[in-house]
Amino acid sequence: MKIELFYIPGCEKCATAGDDLKATAEQVIPGIIWRELNALDELDYVVELSVLTLPAVAIDGEMVFSSLPTSGQLRRELSKRKRS
């Protein structure tokens, strides 16, 4: 499973929350792939996934959170996908 956090440089909220979300993801699914993508450097991919606001989170190439989720929200989503 792969999680991608889309951000823009200078976003303090993105940097702070990203570490917590990554820790949560690794706790729920050990060995998960975690990528942090600068939206300005990945514009084609941002458009492909229909990212409209930042920060945003995609799971396995699917836009799941159009705004930064809480650790609890991410945990629930990952647990649901893990069971599927």
Cβ(25)–Cβ(74) below 8 Å: yes
| Whether the predicted model's global pTM rises above the 0.85 cut | yes
Domains contained in the chain, CATH given? 2-83 (3.40.30.10)
The predicted-structure confidence for 46-80, as pLDDT tens digits, reads as follows 999 999 999 999 999 999 999 999 999 999 999 99
Distance CA 21, CA 14 (A): 10
pLDDT at residue 11, as a whole number: 84
Q: What is the pLDDT of residues 8-55, one digit of tens each?
A: 998 887 778 888 999 999 999 999 999 999 999 999 999 999 999 999
Q: Over 90: is that where the pLDDT of 84 sits?
A: no
Sign of CA dihedral 66, 54, 67, 16: positive
